[in-house]
Amino acid sequence: MPVTTAIKIDVNQTIDQIKGLVTYDKKYVIEVINKTQYTLERIGAYNDSENWPLGDIQPSELGVAQFDCNSFSFAVNYKLKGGWGCIQFAASWPLVGKRKIAIGGINQDGNEPANKVWDQMNDPYDKSCSNGSVKVRAFMREEGKSITWIYEVTNE
Query: 63-67, 114-118, 142-146: lowest mean pLDDT where?
Result: 142-146
pLDDT in tens, 79-116: 999 988 999 999 999 888 899 999 999 999 999 999 99
Say how far apart CA 72 and CA 120 lie, in whole Å.
16
The predicted model scores a pTM of 0.93
CATH of domain 3-155: 2.60.270.20
pLDDT score of 146 = 93
Contacts of 40 (CB under 8 A, 6+ apart): 32, 34, 56, 57, 63, 78, 79, 80, 81, 87, 153
Share of the chain above pLDDT 70, in %: 99
Indicate the domain borders of the chain: 3-155
